[in-house]
Amino acid sequence: MSNLPQVYGHYDLLFTPCLIFQLRDLRGEAWAKLIDYLADLPDTHPDALSFAMMMIHLGGCLSCEMDNYRAQRGCLACSRQTILSFKGSENQLINRYEKARQTVYQQLSDQSDLQKAA
């Protein structure tokens, strides 16, 4: 049994890949195409995790706490606001995803190299 008061129900404090499909119509055609691709992937796929990592950085999820306004509004509302308020272009947003993707794949490659060396 949880010791948390009922006011603190279930809050996600980090963007999760299961929310990706709900961000589809917030930008243009290239964004929608990216979201369509990602939405069909399992949550554990590196591309879905890359998108989640990008959203975590953009939305400031690491500083989110259960009792702040962002958490109480919910992760979906926060992530929608993050995409809508992004000052850059759609291409800049997609480029941020691509950079996050490169980071994730580099980490996976480094991990694989470590395992082979062991």
Give the range of the structural domain holding residue 61, as residue numbers without chain letter. Answer: 17-110
How much is the pLDDT for 2? Answer: 52
Residue 58 maps to a domain: yes
On whether residue 117 sits in a domain, the answer given is no
Check residues 25 and 6 and name the one with the higher pLDDT: 25
**pTM for this one?**
0.84
User: CA separation (Å) from 33 to 22, 57, 106, 107, 110?
Assistant: 13, 22, 24, 26, 30
Q: pLDDT digit string (tens) for 67-103? A: 777 777 888 989 999 999 999 999 999 999 999 999 9
Per the structure, the count of domains in the chain is: 1
